[in-house]
């Protein structure tokens, strides 16, 4: 089914507030009528009371009072309509931004694998703000200007039909100029928005990896790359401004002067034949001058409107990405935790499988460890279990139920995960454990921290459990962050616990604390461990050794050591004992020493 156009979708958001908009437009019509009544009153004063003989001063004062009242009413009306329209525009953008943020939660992780984070941030922050300018400019300028022009032409026809018909040539002429302006400036505006998105992505990446940039002395190269993007945006911005300068105020002002001169010539010619009304002449010139004000206003906002349409296309392009609905699963049944992979094959890119015919079963209360070199497929198995990706072949079941038939929220509700690089949110210690889950009380937070051995260091902090944590928890050591992430997983009491190399960046003393805690918390639940330190999985019920996406060995520690295969060689190397020289001997198709350090995306570990 084809997606609706950008214009229709923007109108759809505006129609939510149609009664506010209609009310504001009625107020606007009243304000424009009050404004345009002024020159007509002046014409009446000139022709009836000031031309040739002394008029009735009481009538003059009455008309002046009416003029002032109309000005006051127009001021109040303009303020009211502007406030209503502008606040409505802000509400519309608030809705668009929330819809975009909600949809991002539904998009599969595959999209984020191929899209720089900075570009996504740019869509939510910069592009929605540009769309806001569209509604603000459209409601505050285009609509207002249209109503003003309509009122001005009504007044012109009341004064002189022939000259009003001549002035009707102006709107088509300015529309043609606007069309030419839009045609040539759209290309430059699209490039400008794309470069801004690229710059945001690069800034985000540079800040994230600043230690690497400085360590490898890439400051100059990074600056050069940024300067290329920045300069390209600057060049296109200059070209767009050149078009704007040629086709906006300058051309409107020139045409306005020529038309005004023609009107003066027309009235001058008429005065040679008949006596003309000076009041009509004054009023016509006044109204004619007012025609060009809304035209200039439209031209001034034309660039913002065009930029906003380009941004709206990008925002709706994200909204058009298929996503899974976020469901409420408060009453979801807690599974036993029996996990089964049945002949699962998976590829991030078509034709390049990272998992091949994976089959294993993890029963409730068992600990299953996955080991293997970088790129062997360990993390891909976890990604499939968590529902981040869908297998190409085979099935994954929990308690005999295919996870493909479960919503993502139901699937993950009773899962806990601890990553190698733990992420802490800006907040405090207790928030980072409970994540505002109402079922996790402060006592449960303290108990979870106690179970993983984190309570002693937390209680020594100045704020204790209320100690502020900045984003990513950079004020804490890696071991402390890891312990807090363990406490977070345990506080949610998962039926299935996933540890993704969770002890890889922890010192030996902290590792001992975690090992003791794991023996307690893994009791009664299924635990899957991606292990880098093989010493941490000696007690696992089953160890799966992966190589190039396949399970090449399986068994417990003692069984695998007796095999003296890949696991045995890896274990001997980590212990520091001399392993057989062929431990890392390349396979015939492995490409030499690349076996030990395969170049694979981090996601496929």
Query: Is residue 161 domain-shared with residue 296, that is, in the same domain?
Result: yes
Query: What average pLDDT does the structure give for the chain?
Result: 80
> How sure is the predictor about 589, in pLDDT bands with cuts at 50, 70 and 90?
very low
Return the percentage of the chain with pLDDT > 90, whole number: 17
Q: Quick one: 161 and 254 in the same domain?
A: yes
**Is 445 within the bounds of a domain?**
no
- Taking only Cα atoms into account, the Rg of the chain, rounded to an integer number of angstroms, comes to 36
Do residues 345 and 223 both lie within one domain?
A: no
Residues 103 and 137 occupy one common structural domain: yes
Regarding whether 169 and 121 lie in a shared domain, the answer is yes
Q: How far is CA 438 from CA 74, 435, 444, 518, in A?
A: 54, 9, 11, 25
Most confident of 400-409, 499-508, 592-601: 400-409
Helix (H) or strand (E) holding 196: helix 170-208
Six token digits for residue 202: 């690069």
Distance CA(259)–CA(262), nearest Å, equals 5
60, 49 Cβ separation under 8 angstroms = yes
User: Alpha-carbon distance 253 to 250, whole Å?
Assistant: 5
Sole residue written with tokens 């290309």: 187
260, 354: one domain: no
Residues 339 and 315 in one domain: no
244 and 360, same structural domain?
no
Least confident segment among 29-38, 136-145, 520-529: 136-145
Domain finish residue from 266, 289, 319: 319
Structural domain contains residue 437: no
pLDDT of residue 28: 84
Q: In this structure, what CATH number is given to the domain that contains residue 357?
A: 3.40.50.300
Whether residue 270 is found in the same domain as residue 386: no
Question: Residue 528: what pLDDT?
Answer: 92
Kindly state whether residue 521 falls inside one of the protein's structural domains: no
Listed residues 262, 286, 319: the one ending a domain? 319
- Torsion on CA atoms 106, 111, 117, 123, rounded to nearest 10: -60
Give the residue from 319, 351, 374 where a domain finishes: 319
What total of structural domains would you count in the chain? Answer: 2
Verify that 288 and 357 share a domain, yes or no. no
Distances (CA, A) of 300 to 136, 144, 188, 245, 248: 13, 14, 17, 10, 7
Query: 558 near 572, Cβ under 8 Å?
Result: no
In a domain, 561, yes or no: yes
CB atoms within 10 A of CB 265: 10
The answer to whether residue 186 is domain-embedded is yes
Domain match, 347 and 315 both: no
In a domain, 524, yes or no: no
Contact 283, 40 (CB under 8 A): yes
Question: Looking at residues 109-137, what average pLDDT do you find?
Answer: 78
pLDDT of 221-260, one tens digit each?
Answer: 888 888 999 999 899 888 887 877 776 667 777 787 787 7
Domain membership flag for residue 481 = no
Residues 279 and 182 placed together within one structural domain of the fold: yes
pLDDT at 193: 77
Q: What average pLDDT score do residues 22-38 get?
A: 84
Structural element, H or E, at residue 550: strand 550-555
- The CATH number of the domain holding residue 17 is 1.20.1560.10
The one-character DSSP state at 125 is: I
Domain that holds residue 387: 335-414+530-587
Per the CB < 8 A criterion, the answer to whether 384 and 354 are in contact is no
Has residue 432 been placed in a domain?
no
- Give the confidence band of 587 by pLDDT, cuts at 50, 70, 90: very low
Question: Residue 496 in 3-state DSSP?
Answer: strand
Cβ count near 485 (within 10 Å): 24
| pLDDT band for position 581 (cuts 50, 70, 90) | very low
Q: Which of 505, 437, 431 is nearest to 470 (CA)?
A: 431
Query: 């209609």: which residue's tokens?
Result: 22
């Amino acid at each position: 089914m084809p997606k609706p156009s950008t214009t229709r979708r923007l109108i759809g958001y505006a129609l939510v507030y149609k009664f506010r908009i209609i009310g504001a437009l009625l107020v606007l019509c009243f304000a424009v009528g009050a404004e345009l009544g002024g020159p007509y009153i002046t014409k009446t004063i000139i022709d009836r009371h000031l031309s040739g003989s002394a008029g009735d001063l009481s009538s003059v004062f009455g008309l002046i009072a009416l003029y002032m009242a109309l000005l006051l009413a127009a001021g109040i009306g303009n303020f009211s309509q502007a406030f209503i329209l502008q606040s409505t525009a802000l509400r519309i953008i608030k809705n668009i931004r929330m819809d975009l943020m909600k949809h991002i939660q539904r998009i599969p992780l595959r999209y984020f694998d191929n899209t720089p984070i900075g570009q996504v941030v740019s869509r939510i922050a910069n592009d929605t703000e540009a769309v806001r300018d569209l509604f603000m400019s459209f409601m505050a300028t285009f609509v207002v200007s249209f109503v003003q022009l309509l009122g001005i032409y009504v007044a012109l026809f009341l004064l002189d039909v022939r000259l009003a018909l001549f002035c009707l040539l102006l709107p088509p002429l300015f529309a043609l100029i606007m069309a030419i302006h839009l045609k040539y400036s759209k290309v430059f505006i699209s490039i400008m928005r794309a470069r801004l998105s690229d710059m945001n992505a690069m800034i985000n990446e540079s800040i994230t990896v600043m230690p690497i940039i400085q360590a490898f002395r890439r400051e100059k190269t990074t600056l050069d790359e940024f300067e290329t993007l920045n300069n390209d945006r600057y060049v296109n911005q200059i070209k767009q401004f050149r078009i704007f300068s040629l086709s906006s105020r300058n051309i409107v002002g020139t045409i306005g002067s020529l038309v005004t001169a023609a009107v003066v010539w027309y009235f001058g010619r008429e005065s040679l034949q008949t006596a003309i009304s000076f009041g009509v002449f004054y009023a016509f010139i006044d109204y004619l001058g007012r025609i060009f004000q809304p035209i200039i206003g439209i031209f001034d906002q034309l660039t913002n409107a065009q930029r906003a349409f380009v941004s709206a296309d990008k925002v709706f392009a994200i909204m058009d990405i298929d996503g899974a609905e976020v469901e409420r699963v408060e009453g979801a049944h807690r599974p036993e935790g029996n996990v089964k992979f049945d002949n699962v094959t998976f590829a991030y890119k078509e034709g390049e499988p990272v998992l091949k015919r994976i089959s294993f079963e993890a029963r409730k209360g068992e600990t299953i460890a996955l080991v293997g070199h970088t790129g062997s497929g360990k993390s891909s198995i976890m990604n499939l279990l968590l529902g981040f990706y869908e297998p190409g072949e085979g099935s994954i079941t929990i308690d005999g139920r295919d996870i493909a038939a479960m919503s993502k929220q139901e699937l993950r509700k009773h899962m806990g995960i601890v990553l190698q690089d733990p992420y802490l949110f800006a907040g405090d210690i207790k928030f980072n454990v409970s994540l505002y889950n109402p079922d996790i009380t402060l006592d449960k937070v303290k108990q979870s921290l106690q179970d993983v051995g984190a309570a002693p260091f937390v209680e020594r902090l100045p704020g204790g459990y209320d100690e502020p944590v900045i984003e990513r928890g950079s004020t804490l050591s890696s071991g402390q962050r890891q312990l807090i992430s363990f406490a977070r997983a345990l506080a949610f009491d998962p039926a299935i616990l996933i540890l993704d190399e969770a002890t890889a960046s922890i010192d030996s003393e902290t590792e001992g604390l975690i090992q003791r805690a794991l023996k307690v918390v893994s009791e009664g639940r299924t635990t899957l461990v991606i292990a880098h330190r093989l010493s941490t999985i000696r007690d696992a019920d089953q160890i799966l050794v992966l190589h190039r996406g396949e399970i090449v060995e399986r068994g417990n520690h003692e069984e695998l050591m007796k095999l003296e295969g890949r696991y045995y060689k890896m274990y001997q190397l980590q212990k520091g004992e001399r392993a057989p020289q062929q431990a890392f001997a390349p396979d015939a198709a492995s490409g030499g020493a690349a076996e030990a350090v395969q170049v694979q995306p981090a996601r496929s570990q």
